[in-house]
Amino acid sequence: MATTSIAFQAAVAVASTSADLSPSIEIQTLYTPEITPTNGLLKVAVTGVCGSDWGYFQDLPRMRGNVILGHETVGYVQAIGAVAHAKWGVQEGDLVALEEYLPCGHCAYCRSGDFRLCDATDWRMGGMRYGATAMNIGSGLWGGYAQYQELHLNTVFHRVQHGVSPRHAALALPLSNGIEWTYLQGGAGPGQTVLIQGPGQQGLACVVAAREAGAERIIVTGLATETDKLRLVMAKALGAHHTIAIGEDDLLESVGELTNGYMADLVIDCASGGTDSVVSAIQLARKKGVVILGGQKRKPVPQFDSDRIIANFLTVKGMRGHSFESVELALQLIAANRHNVTQMSSHQFGLAQTEYALQTLVGKGAPSAVHMVIDPWK
């Protein structure tokens, strides 16, 4: 067990002193925490850039103080305290993928396997979560955009299979969301038509999950923008049968033609931002169909037609995050490179490029990005 403190670099999100300016990323020199019986240390290999990181970047420094972002973390276990070792079941040197959740382990949600719903993981309720916990909590070393990260006693680990690169293993969390939403919660299976709104990370992950589940027809929709059109090409490479560019094609007419008027068995809304996709999701589902709402809008939905839900006997589910099972399934798909899933990993940046990577999430950085990782040693 390492006990000597190590100086390392971290990308810290810092609030501006001016109310008119956005937060910024500063590269700071920090020191690893003392290893106690109940914690550990991770040497970060790479951390994926999640779409939610943009919201965290804009809000958390102002609301909570300086924070190290990054929660799709893959790395090597550097040190483990004695109590933590007995609880975790991992060894020093193991390559692991972390979940962002730090669940209590004893509430009803944790005991039933839904630990992502545990209040202890909800930073909005004062809980802790990797990549969303301010530096004024404990050591403050709770994010993956750094060379080292403290391992909390309640960390949830996944061992990465031999031969899988850390960069590809970082796809585990976004891919697990697709598996959770499409297969475990959406019930996708043989003979079904699955329609996915939004060709970002989550939407493309849903394509892979639908293909693996044996869906007969996979339709992906996006906007008629250069970015979305490139991602729709990627959707077909991952297994989508049809793509629709909204603005060039009429959405409802196109889906009606593709399904002979039957519409979709399962509609998954992964689109962020505008609320139109919630309205269209209800319209695109067949009678007795299932609608999964996964893309946060951060505003109420006007023209929400609850009567259509009743008339068409629809099941509508709000969705957040992933389960332990879905992450394990995702790692299996990555290890076998099923459906060429590793091609989703499109960009790799160094620690000094963290802010550029975050800007890419909103179309202001690198072109053609699908899934990015930060390599803090690059």
d(CA 44, CA 99): 14
CATH superfamily ID and name for 175-318: NAD(P)-binding Rossmann-like Domain (3.40.50.720)
How many angstroms separate the CA atoms of 187 and 192, rounded? 10
Q: Which residue in 178, 157, 143, 165 sits closest to 71, CA to CA?
A: 143
270 near 197, Cβ under 8 Å? Answer: yes
Q: Which tens digit of pLDDT belongs to each residue from 111-129?
A: 999 999 999 999 888 899 9
Residue 153: pLDDT over 60: yes
pLDDT for residue 1: 54
100 forms beta bridges with: none
User: Which residue from 204, 60, 205 is spatially nearest to 137, judged by alpha carbons?
Assistant: 60
**pLDDT reported for residue 257:** 97
Confidence of residue 340 (pLDDT cuts 50, 70, 90): very high
Q: What is the pLDDT of residue 3?
A: 66
3-state SS, residue 157: strand
- With contact defined as beta carbons under 8 Å apart, do 135 and 101 qualify? no
- 12-15 — which CB contacts under 8 Å span 24+ positions? 12/66, 12/67, 12/68, 12/135, 13/56, 13/57, 13/60, 13/61, 13/66, 13/67, 13/68, 13/69, 14/61, 14/66, 15/61, 15/62, 15/65, 15/66
Task: Give residue limits of the domains in the chain.
Answer: 7-170+337-375, 175-318
Of residues 283, 268, 282, 263, the one with CA closest to residue 180: 268
- CA 44/CA 146 separation, integer angstroms: 7
Does 7-170+337-375 match 175-318 in CATH topology?
A: no
pLDDT in tens, 267-318: 999 998 789 999 999 999 999 999 999 988 878 888 888 999 999 999 999 9
Q: Which of 175, 180, 214, 173 shows the shortest CA–CA distance to 194? A: 214
280 vs 197: CA distance, rounded Å? 9
pLDDT per residue over 204-250, tens digit each? 999 999 999 999 999 999 999 999 999 999 999 999 999 999 999 99
Q: Nearest-CA neighbor of 235 among 278, 205, 279?
A: 205
Residue 31 DSSP SS3: strand
Report the share of the chain in percent with pLDDT over 90: 89
How far apart are alpha carbons 326 and 80 in whole angstroms?
26
Task: State the chain's mean pLDDT as an integer.
Answer: 95
CB-count exposure of residue 105 (10 Å: 0-12, 13-18, 19+)? middle
From the candidate CATH numbers 3.30.720.210, 3.40.50.300, 3.90.180.10, 2.60.40.740, the one assigned to the domain spanning 7-170+337-375: 3.90.180.10
Where are the strands (E) in 51-146, listed by range?
72-80, 95-98
Tally of residues, the chain: 378
- Alpha-carbon distance of 44 to 25, in angstroms, equals 18
Mean pLDDT in residue range 3-12: 92
In this prediction, what percent of the chain has a pLDDT beyond 70? Answer: 99
**Strands annotated E in the chain:** 7-14, 24-31, 40-49, 72-80, 95-98, 148-151, 157-159, 193-197, 217-223, 242-246, 264-269, 285-293, 315-318, 345-350, 371-375
For residues 28 and 14, what is the distance between their CA atoms, to the nearest angstrom? 11
On the question of pLDDT at 165 being above 70, the answer is: yes
Handedness of CA 262, 266, 272, 273 (dihedral sign): positive
